[in-house]
Structure 1
């Protein structure tokens, strides 16, 4: 007869629960995996499979009761680490979404908004188009596999321990957040500059011929000009988007810091 003690059972539980919490937090915060079109059961199943695949290579874990204060703090730290890894890549897609928002608003498509299942909010048609384009680029370079590799390597660079800060470099994550504005503006700059010139030309035309209905001819011109500029600049966006994704992958793999303060025993 096989007998299982409480210590062995607790070791089995913490050996699965703590890594699973980090993986599920990564899935909930990262793009692609947290897409609204993917059912929650599928996301949970993928998280369990990733955890089971990474368990054999995990370093030794601290032995604490799962319902103790130290156990709950470790659980919260794993959720924080997984969310930081997923957020590092979501910032890239937020920058692309911001570029689409700027282009769409300048074109006059601010009223053409739809529900975006990726961001769980409203976005215009240009923003959704650029998001789909970025997702295709992301999948073409096996970005989803690189996210799984990053969370698996994080168990080595940021091992499960009793560190108060969870081993995270919070300043690096905060500085990476500025990419939402800088990268989004750079992606939208060609289209916004061309549309600004078109609006200035319409303004001069309105001053020279006041009898023209600026609203009647302005919207078709700006919308047509916007689509033409997007068609010409879209091939050139491939390399900048790939560069931003690569920077996001580097950030995912370097969110840890070398040292942290241990919890009081």
Structure 2
């Protein structure tokens, strides 16, 4: 059997270009795209997804995979995959920042441990929210929704020299503000409760100067913080579902080119 150079380049491109988009998404999506998952697992997952998706794709563009234009196509696919995974990373980062802010406010900032996902020292309370949103992501089949979005992206934005436009990048930048919105909504209840307690301590200290606020303030802050966290923890579930739905809709809008 004799194969010409254009035929070999077309076969290589038909696999390499989808693999670039899929591997970029797997490398940036929550849980699978972190240090928690070994590099070999991520590689095998990207290869498995590529082998499953490639037979369903339309014909690839007639471009030499080893030419400069072919390299540009690979770069476009990498940007598309990273952009889709970035939306979901922002959601996770918002909950993690919110948990770390709460830990600092109630005096648990000194209690840290190694986060296997972020690969750094984080407060234990931040780890609680990290584990919680990770389990929610798997329980609600978030990973399957991401893979479904990945498969649809090849229909909405086929492989070619055209990638995400300027409006799409602005959508990514605008969506990054949701990370701080999530963190603020999580921590605002604890911050407001501690502010009321601090005002009460100020009044008591003014009325009784001999009252040692430093000896009783820290335990009370921790107790109030844990009570508020216990009350508000069930609200994390609908909040996470809402934010994941927003991330899916925005990512789909970006890859489809809808303004």
Sort the TM-score into its range (normalised by shorter chain). Answer: over 0.9
Corresponding residue of 1:204: 203
Q: Does the 8 Å CA contact 2:100/2:123 hold for their aligned counterparts?
A: yes
Q: Does the 8 Å CA contact 1:158/1:167 hold for their aligned counterparts?
A: no
Matched residue pairs, number? 258
- Aligned to 1:253, the other structure's residue is in SS state helix
- In the TM superposition, residue 14 of structure 1 has moved relative to its aligned partner by 0.8
1:119-177 superposed Cα distances (whole Å, 9 cap, x missing partner): 33332111111121111111111000011111111111111111264687111111111
- In the TM superposition, residue 245 of structure 1 has moved relative to its aligned partner by 1.3
The 5 Å alignment of 1:135-174 reads 135-163=134-162, 165=164, 169-174=168-173
Distance 2:256 2:238 in 1: 30
Gaps of 5+ in 2: none
1:32-80 superposed Cα distances (whole Å, 9 cap, x missing partner): 2113221110110000000110001112222222222111111111111
Corresponding residue of 1:262: none
Corresponding residue of 2:60: 61
Corresponding residue of 2:237: 238
Distance 2:22 2:206 in 1: 60
- In the TM superposition, residue 187 of structure 1 has moved relative to its aligned partner by 2.0
Distance 1:163 1:211 in 2: 72
Against the structure 1 CA distance between its residues 79 and 27, is the aligned structure 2 distance closer, same or farther, given a 3 Å change threshold?
same
Distance 1:35 1:76 in 2: 22
Distance 1:77 1:164 in 2: 5
Q: Does the 8 Å CA contact 2:165/2:257 hold for their aligned counterparts?
A: no
Distance 1:82 1:168 in 2: 17
Q: Does the 8 Å CA contact 1:167/1:257 hold for their aligned counterparts?
A: no
Q: Does the 8 Å CA contact 1:102/1:192 hold for their aligned counterparts?
A: no
Instruction: Name the one with the larger helix percent.
Output: 2
TM-score by length of 2: 0.93
Against the structure 1 CA distance between its residues 258 and 230, is the aligned structure 2 distance closer, same or farther, given a 3 Å change threshold?
closer
Gaps of 5+ in 1: 260-265
- In the TM superposition, residue 86 of structure 1 has moved relative to its aligned partner by 0.4
- In the TM superposition, residue 16 of structure 1 has moved relative to its aligned partner by 1.1
Q: Is 1:39 paired with 2:38?
A: yes
Distance 1:165 1:256 in 2: 7
- RMSD between aligned alpha carbons? 1.8
Distance 1:182 1:164 in 2: 29
- Aligned to 1:174, the other structure's residue is in SS state helix
- Aligned to 1:108, the other structure's residue is in SS state coil
Pick which of 64-73 and 18-27 moved more.
64-73
